Amino acid sequence: MDKIIVDLGSRSYPIYFGYDNLGDLGRVSKELDIGDEIIIVTNPTVGKHFLHTVQAGLKDAGFSVSPIEIPDGEEYKSLSQVSILYDKLLSLKTDRKSALVALGGGVVGDITGFVAATFMRGIPFIQVPTTLLAQVDSSVGGKTGVNHPKGKNLIGAFYQPKLVLIDINTLTRLERPELISGFAEVIKYGIIRDPELFQNLGDNLEKILGLDRESVLTVVKRCCSIKARVVEEDEKESGMRAILNFGHTVGHAIEALSGYKTYKHGEAVAMGMVAATNLSVKMGICNEDVLYRIKTLIRRAGLPTELPDYSKYEYQRVMALDKKMGNNKIKFVVTEDVGNVRFTYLSVEEISNQLT
Protein backbone atom coordinates (compact mmCIF):
# COMPACT_ATOMS: atom_id res chain seq x y z
CA MET A 1 0.00 0.00 0.00
CA ASP A 2 1.05 3.58 -0.62
CA LYS A 3 1.03 5.87 2.38
CA ILE A 4 1.56 9.43 3.49
CA ILE A 5 2.22 10.60 7.04
CA VAL A 6 0.29 13.29 8.87
CA ASP A 7 3.17 14.75 10.87
CA LEU A 8 1.90 15.90 14.25
CA GLY A 9 4.78 14.85 16.49
CA SER A 10 3.63 12.30 19.04
CA ARG A 11 0.17 12.25 17.39
CA SER A 12 1.48 11.50 13.89
CA TYR A 13 -0.22 8.77 11.89
CA PRO A 14 -0.16 7.15 8.45
CA ILE A 15 -2.81 7.25 5.74
CA TYR A 16 -2.69 4.04 3.71
CA PHE A 17 -4.03 3.92 0.15
CA GLY A 18 -4.81 0.90 -1.96
CA TYR A 19 -7.34 -1.22 -3.77
CA ASP A 20 -8.91 -4.31 -2.16
CA ASN A 21 -6.80 -3.66 0.94
CA LEU A 22 -9.43 -3.78 3.71
CA GLY A 23 -8.08 -7.15 4.80
CA ASP A 24 -4.72 -5.52 5.58
CA LEU A 25 -6.14 -3.52 8.48
CA GLY A 26 -5.20 -6.20 11.00
CA ARG A 27 -1.59 -6.30 9.84
CA VAL A 28 -1.02 -2.54 9.98
CA SER A 29 -2.94 -2.23 13.26
CA LYS A 30 -0.49 -4.62 14.90
CA GLU A 31 2.11 -1.86 14.59
CA LEU A 32 0.05 0.39 16.88
CA ASP A 33 0.25 0.75 20.65
CA ILE A 34 -3.24 -0.63 21.30
CA GLY A 35 -4.70 -3.60 23.13
CA ASP A 36 -6.08 -6.80 21.66
CA GLU A 37 -9.73 -5.75 21.66
CA ILE A 38 -11.21 -3.84 18.72
CA ILE A 39 -14.78 -2.64 18.36
CA ILE A 40 -15.92 -1.91 14.80
CA VAL A 41 -18.57 0.79 14.50
CA THR A 42 -20.45 0.70 11.20
CA ASN A 43 -23.96 0.94 9.79
CA PRO A 44 -26.10 -1.73 8.08
CA THR A 45 -25.47 -0.37 4.58
CA VAL A 46 -21.69 -0.50 4.90
CA GLY A 47 -21.57 -3.51 7.16
CA LYS A 48 -23.24 -5.89 4.73
CA HIS A 49 -20.50 -5.21 2.16
CA PHE A 50 -17.30 -4.79 4.16
CA LEU A 51 -17.66 -5.85 7.80
CA HIS A 52 -16.76 -9.50 7.18
CA THR A 53 -13.52 -8.64 5.37
CA VAL A 54 -12.38 -6.15 8.01
CA GLN A 55 -13.36 -8.41 10.88
CA ALA A 56 -11.61 -11.43 9.36
CA GLY A 57 -8.39 -9.49 8.79
CA LEU A 58 -8.35 -8.23 12.35
CA LYS A 59 -9.03 -11.69 13.78
CA ASP A 60 -6.27 -13.19 11.63
CA ALA A 61 -3.90 -10.64 13.18
CA GLY A 62 -4.86 -11.79 16.68
CA PHE A 63 -7.43 -9.20 17.69
CA SER A 64 -10.68 -9.90 19.51
CA VAL A 65 -13.37 -8.14 17.47
CA SER A 66 -16.89 -6.94 18.30
CA PRO A 67 -19.08 -5.09 15.79
CA ILE A 68 -21.61 -2.39 16.68
CA GLU A 69 -24.12 -1.06 14.15
CA ILE A 70 -25.58 2.44 14.25
CA PRO A 71 -28.41 3.69 12.02
CA ASP A 72 -27.53 5.13 8.63
CA GLY A 73 -28.14 8.85 8.16
CA GLU A 74 -26.96 12.34 9.14
CA GLU A 75 -29.93 12.73 11.49
CA TYR A 76 -28.39 10.03 13.71
CA LYS A 77 -25.17 11.98 14.28
CA SER A 78 -26.48 13.05 17.65
CA LEU A 79 -25.79 12.97 21.38
CA SER A 80 -28.54 10.40 21.86
CA GLN A 81 -26.69 8.03 19.52
CA VAL A 82 -23.44 8.76 21.38
CA SER A 83 -25.11 7.72 24.62
CA ILE A 84 -26.25 4.45 23.04
CA LEU A 85 -22.68 3.77 21.94
CA TYR A 86 -21.36 4.45 25.45
CA ASP A 87 -23.84 1.90 26.81
CA LYS A 88 -22.76 -0.72 24.29
CA LEU A 89 -19.07 -0.15 25.00
CA LEU A 90 -19.70 -0.55 28.71
CA SER A 91 -21.61 -3.78 28.11
CA LEU A 92 -18.57 -5.06 26.18
CA LYS A 93 -16.32 -4.12 29.12
CA THR A 94 -14.28 -1.87 26.86
CA ASP A 95 -11.15 -0.49 28.52
CA ARG A 96 -8.70 2.32 27.73
CA LYS A 97 -6.46 0.08 25.61
CA SER A 98 -9.37 -1.08 23.44
CA ALA A 99 -9.62 0.58 20.04
CA LEU A 100 -12.56 1.66 17.93
CA VAL A 101 -12.64 1.25 14.16
CA ALA A 102 -14.88 3.64 12.21
CA LEU A 103 -15.99 1.65 9.16
CA GLY A 104 -18.19 3.88 7.03
CA GLY A 105 -18.71 7.40 5.76
CA GLY A 106 -18.51 10.77 7.43
CA VAL A 107 -21.30 10.17 9.94
CA VAL A 108 -19.76 6.93 11.22
CA GLY A 109 -16.29 8.50 11.30
CA ASP A 110 -17.37 11.67 13.11
CA ILE A 111 -19.47 9.97 15.77
CA THR A 112 -16.95 7.15 16.36
CA GLY A 113 -14.13 9.67 16.71
CA PHE A 114 -16.15 11.71 19.20
CA VAL A 115 -16.97 8.62 21.26
CA ALA A 116 -13.29 7.63 21.19
CA ALA A 117 -12.28 11.12 22.32
CA THR A 118 -14.65 11.14 25.28
CA PHE A 119 -15.07 7.54 26.46
CA MET A 120 -12.87 7.01 29.52
CA ARG A 121 -11.24 10.35 28.61
CA GLY A 122 -9.94 8.97 25.35
CA ILE A 123 -9.32 5.61 23.72
CA PRO A 124 -7.58 4.85 20.39
CA PHE A 125 -9.50 4.83 17.14
CA ILE A 126 -8.88 4.03 13.49
CA GLN A 127 -10.57 5.48 10.43
CA VAL A 128 -11.61 3.18 7.56
CA PRO A 129 -13.59 5.56 5.31
CA THR A 130 -15.82 3.96 2.67
CA THR A 131 -17.24 7.04 0.91
CA LEU A 132 -15.47 9.54 -1.31
CA LEU A 133 -16.36 12.40 1.02
CA ALA A 134 -14.87 10.59 4.02
CA GLN A 135 -11.79 9.43 2.13
CA VAL A 136 -10.77 12.87 0.90
CA ASP A 137 -11.90 14.93 3.87
CA SER A 138 -13.57 13.90 7.10
CA SER A 139 -11.40 10.87 7.96
CA VAL A 140 -8.22 12.98 8.03
CA GLY A 141 -7.41 15.74 10.49
CA GLY A 142 -9.00 14.70 13.76
CA LYS A 143 -12.23 16.68 13.66
CA THR A 144 -14.86 14.64 15.48
CA GLY A 145 -18.32 15.59 16.59
CA VAL A 146 -22.07 15.41 16.42
CA ASN A 147 -24.83 17.77 15.38
CA HIS A 148 -27.18 19.82 17.52
CA PRO A 149 -30.68 20.65 16.29
CA LYS A 150 -29.57 24.27 16.01
CA GLY A 151 -26.39 23.65 14.05
CA LYS A 152 -23.97 21.20 12.47
CA ASN A 153 -21.01 19.78 14.41
CA LEU A 154 -21.54 22.14 17.33
CA ILE A 155 -20.48 19.45 19.82
CA GLY A 156 -17.11 17.84 19.22
CA ALA A 157 -13.39 17.57 19.83
CA PHE A 158 -10.10 17.54 17.97
CA TYR A 159 -8.90 13.96 18.37
CA GLN A 160 -6.54 12.32 15.89
CA PRO A 161 -6.92 8.70 14.72
CA LYS A 162 -4.08 6.19 15.04
CA LEU A 163 -4.23 5.48 11.33
CA VAL A 164 -6.43 5.90 8.27
CA LEU A 165 -6.85 3.06 5.78
CA ILE A 166 -8.42 3.92 2.42
CA ASP A 167 -9.61 1.21 0.03
CA ILE A 168 -10.67 2.78 -3.28
CA ASN A 169 -12.69 -0.36 -4.07
CA THR A 170 -15.28 0.60 -1.45
CA LEU A 171 -16.43 3.42 -3.74
CA THR A 172 -17.87 0.89 -6.21
CA ARG A 173 -20.62 0.18 -3.68
CA LEU A 174 -21.71 3.80 -3.44
CA GLU A 175 -24.93 4.93 -5.00
CA ARG A 176 -24.30 7.57 -7.64
CA PRO A 177 -25.72 10.50 -5.59
CA GLU A 178 -23.35 9.67 -2.71
CA LEU A 179 -20.36 9.59 -5.04
CA ILE A 180 -21.29 12.92 -6.58
CA SER A 181 -21.87 14.42 -3.14
CA GLY A 182 -18.33 13.47 -2.13
CA PHE A 183 -16.96 14.98 -5.31
CA ALA A 184 -17.93 18.42 -4.00
CA GLU A 185 -15.18 18.14 -1.37
CA VAL A 186 -12.72 17.12 -4.10
CA ILE A 187 -13.59 20.27 -6.04
CA LYS A 188 -13.08 22.26 -2.85
CA TYR A 189 -9.45 21.17 -2.60
CA GLY A 190 -8.77 22.35 -6.12
CA ILE A 191 -10.31 25.75 -5.40
CA ILE A 192 -8.57 26.38 -2.12
CA ARG A 193 -5.08 25.09 -2.86
CA ASP A 194 -4.41 23.39 -6.19
CA PRO A 195 -5.34 24.83 -9.61
CA GLU A 196 -3.73 21.82 -11.34
CA LEU A 197 -6.06 19.50 -9.43
CA PHE A 198 -9.01 21.68 -10.42
CA GLN A 199 -7.96 21.45 -14.08
CA ASN A 200 -7.51 17.68 -13.77
CA LEU A 201 -11.03 17.34 -12.41
CA GLY A 202 -12.44 19.14 -15.41
CA ASP A 203 -10.32 17.23 -17.92
CA ASN A 204 -11.00 13.80 -16.42
CA LEU A 205 -14.44 14.21 -14.87
CA GLU A 206 -15.99 11.21 -16.60
CA LYS A 207 -13.08 8.91 -15.72
CA ILE A 208 -13.10 9.98 -12.08
CA LEU A 209 -16.86 9.67 -11.63
CA GLY A 210 -16.68 6.44 -13.62
CA LEU A 211 -14.30 5.19 -10.90
CA ASP A 212 -11.30 4.59 -13.12
CA ARG A 213 -8.93 3.10 -10.57
CA GLU A 214 -5.81 5.16 -11.23
CA SER A 215 -7.72 8.41 -11.76
CA VAL A 216 -9.58 8.06 -8.46
CA LEU A 217 -6.50 6.97 -6.53
CA THR A 218 -4.55 9.97 -7.82
CA VAL A 219 -7.30 12.39 -6.81
CA VAL A 220 -7.87 10.88 -3.36
CA LYS A 221 -4.14 10.87 -2.56
CA ARG A 222 -3.78 14.49 -3.69
CA CYS A 223 -6.71 15.67 -1.57
CA CYS A 224 -5.39 13.81 1.49
CA SER A 225 -1.93 15.24 0.94
CA ILE A 226 -3.31 18.79 0.81
CA LYS A 227 -5.33 18.25 3.96
CA ALA A 228 -2.40 16.61 5.78
CA ARG A 229 -0.16 19.61 5.09
CA VAL A 230 -2.86 22.07 6.21
CA VAL A 231 -3.52 20.11 9.42
CA GLU A 232 0.20 19.88 10.18
CA GLU A 233 0.42 23.65 9.99
CA ASP A 234 -2.70 24.33 12.04
CA GLU A 235 -4.07 21.26 13.83
CA LYS A 236 -6.80 22.94 15.85
CA GLU A 237 -7.99 25.56 13.38
CA SER A 238 -6.55 28.58 15.12
CA GLY A 239 -5.45 30.02 11.77
CA MET A 240 -5.12 28.86 8.20
CA ARG A 241 -6.85 25.47 8.62
CA ALA A 242 -10.10 27.37 8.35
CA ILE A 243 -9.58 27.51 4.55
CA LEU A 244 -10.91 23.93 4.61
CA ASN A 245 -14.27 25.46 5.52
CA PHE A 246 -14.64 27.05 2.08
CA GLY A 247 -18.33 26.76 1.17
CA HIS A 248 -19.19 25.27 4.55
CA THR A 249 -20.58 28.34 6.34
CA VAL A 250 -23.49 28.57 3.93
CA GLY A 251 -23.50 24.79 3.36
CA HIS A 252 -23.93 24.02 7.04
CA ALA A 253 -26.71 26.60 7.26
CA ILE A 254 -28.55 24.88 4.41
CA GLU A 255 -28.19 21.50 6.13
CA ALA A 256 -29.48 22.82 9.44
CA LEU A 257 -32.41 24.68 7.88
CA SER A 258 -33.44 21.53 6.01
CA GLY A 259 -33.20 19.35 9.13
CA TYR A 260 -30.25 17.36 7.72
CA LYS A 261 -32.61 15.41 5.48
CA THR A 262 -33.20 17.30 2.23
CA TYR A 263 -29.63 17.80 1.03
CA LYS A 264 -26.53 15.66 1.22
CA HIS A 265 -23.48 17.33 2.77
CA GLY A 266 -21.69 17.65 -0.56
CA GLU A 267 -24.74 19.16 -2.23
CA ALA A 268 -24.97 21.80 0.49
CA VAL A 269 -21.23 22.52 0.25
CA ALA A 270 -21.48 22.83 -3.55
CA MET A 271 -24.16 25.50 -3.18
CA GLY A 272 -22.08 27.12 -0.44
CA MET A 273 -18.97 27.29 -2.63
CA VAL A 274 -20.89 29.00 -5.42
CA ALA A 275 -22.44 31.41 -2.91
CA ALA A 276 -19.03 32.22 -1.41
CA THR A 277 -17.52 32.84 -4.84
CA ASN A 278 -20.48 34.96 -5.90
CA LEU A 279 -20.07 37.03 -2.74
CA SER A 280 -16.35 37.35 -3.56
CA VAL A 281 -17.22 38.74 -6.98
CA LYS A 282 -19.63 41.26 -5.47
CA MET A 283 -16.91 42.34 -3.02
CA GLY A 284 -14.48 42.88 -5.89
CA ILE A 285 -12.15 40.14 -4.66
CA CYS A 286 -12.28 37.92 -7.75
CA ASN A 287 -13.37 38.07 -11.36
CA GLU A 288 -16.59 36.81 -12.92
CA ASP A 289 -14.67 34.20 -14.92
CA VAL A 290 -13.61 32.50 -11.68
CA LEU A 291 -17.25 32.17 -10.67
CA TYR A 292 -18.07 30.83 -14.13
CA ARG A 293 -15.33 28.16 -13.98
CA ILE A 294 -16.33 27.01 -10.50
CA LYS A 295 -20.04 26.95 -11.24
CA THR A 296 -19.46 25.13 -14.54
CA LEU A 297 -17.44 22.31 -12.96
CA ILE A 298 -19.94 21.93 -10.12
CA ARG A 299 -22.83 21.72 -12.59
CA ARG A 300 -20.96 19.27 -14.83
CA ALA A 301 -20.51 17.01 -11.80
CA GLY A 302 -24.26 16.96 -11.27
CA LEU A 303 -24.22 19.11 -8.13
CA PRO A 304 -26.61 21.99 -7.38
CA THR A 305 -25.50 25.61 -7.67
CA GLU A 306 -28.64 27.57 -6.74
CA LEU A 307 -29.51 28.17 -3.09
CA PRO A 308 -32.74 26.92 -1.53
CA ASP A 309 -35.41 29.56 -1.06
CA TYR A 310 -34.86 30.36 2.61
CA SER A 311 -35.21 33.94 3.80
CA LYS A 312 -32.17 35.97 4.77
CA TYR A 313 -33.47 35.97 8.35
CA GLU A 314 -33.47 32.17 8.43
CA TYR A 315 -29.87 32.14 7.17
CA GLN A 316 -28.94 34.73 9.79
CA ARG A 317 -30.48 32.74 12.62
CA VAL A 318 -28.54 29.58 11.77
CA MET A 319 -25.24 31.22 10.83
CA ALA A 320 -25.23 33.11 14.14
CA LEU A 321 -24.41 29.73 15.74
CA ASP A 322 -21.49 29.04 13.38
CA LYS A 323 -18.36 27.82 15.22
CA LYS A 324 -16.26 30.38 13.37
CA MET A 325 -18.22 33.25 14.89
CA GLY A 326 -16.28 35.72 17.04
CA ASN A 327 -16.99 39.33 17.98
CA ASN A 328 -20.25 39.09 16.02
CA LYS A 329 -18.44 38.26 12.78
CA ILE A 330 -17.75 34.99 10.95
CA LYS A 331 -14.30 34.08 9.66
CA PHE A 332 -15.51 33.62 6.10
CA VAL A 333 -13.49 32.04 3.29
CA VAL A 334 -13.59 34.05 0.05
CA THR A 335 -12.17 33.24 -3.38
CA GLU A 336 -9.48 35.26 -5.10
CA ASP A 337 -8.84 32.74 -7.86
CA VAL A 338 -8.92 29.00 -8.44
CA GLY A 339 -6.24 27.70 -6.08
CA ASN A 340 -6.19 30.84 -3.95
CA VAL A 341 -8.59 31.71 -1.14
CA ARG A 342 -8.32 33.89 1.93
CA PHE A 343 -10.31 34.99 4.96
CA THR A 344 -12.43 38.00 5.61
CA TYR A 345 -14.62 38.80 8.61
CA LEU A 346 -18.28 39.35 7.87
CA SER A 347 -21.43 39.69 9.93
CA VAL A 348 -24.26 37.27 9.32
CA GLU A 349 -26.23 40.19 7.92
CA GLU A 350 -23.50 40.98 5.39
CA ILE A 351 -23.42 37.36 4.26
CA SER A 352 -27.18 36.77 4.17
CA ASN A 353 -27.86 40.02 2.30
CA GLN A 354 -25.86 38.58 -0.61
CA LEU A 355 -27.66 35.23 -0.53
CA THR A 356 -31.26 36.29 -1.10
Q: Which residues pair with 345 in a beta bridge?
A: 331
Other Cβ atoms closer than 10 A to 31:
10
Range(s) of the chain covered by CATH 3.40.50.1970: 2-173
What is residue 229's predicted lDDT score, i.e. its pLDDT? 95
CATH topology of domain 2-173: Rossmann fold (3.40.50)
Q: Is 63 exposed, middle or buried (0-12, 13-18, 19+ CB in 10 A)?
A: buried
User: Where in the sequence numbering do the catalytic residues fall?
Assistant: 121, 143, 185, 227, 237, 241, 245, 248, 252, 265
Termini Cα distance of the chain: 48
Each of the 356 residues of the chain gets a pLDDT tens digit; together they read: 899 999 999 999 999 999 999 999 999 999 998 999 999 999 999 999 999 999 999 999 999 999 999 999 888 999 999 999 999 999 999 999 999 999 999 999 999 999 999 999 999 999 999 999 999 999 999 999 999 888 888 899 999 999 999 999 999 999 999 999 999 999 999 999 999 999 999 999 999 999 999 999 999 999 999 999 999 999 988 888 889 999 999 999 999 999 888 999 999 999 999 999 999 999 999 999 999 999 999 999 999 999 999 999 999 999 998 878 888 899 999 999 999 999 999 999 999 988 86
What is residue 323's predicted lDDT score, i.e. its pLDDT? 78
Strand 64-69 relative to strand 37-42: parallel, antiparallel, unpaired? parallel
Other Cβ atoms closer than 10 A to 145:
21
Question: 301-320: string of b/e by CB count within 10 Å (b at 16+)?
Answer: bbbbeebbebeeebbbbbbb
Other Cβ atoms closer than 10 A to 171:
20
What is residue 303's predicted lDDT score, i.e. its pLDDT? 98
Range(s) of the chain covered by CATH 1.20.1090.10: 176-352
Provide CB contacts within 8 A for 163, sequence distance 6+: 13, 14, 15, 16, 28, 29, 32, 126, 127
d(CA 220, CA 225): 9
Q: Which CATH class is domain 176-352?
A: mainly alpha
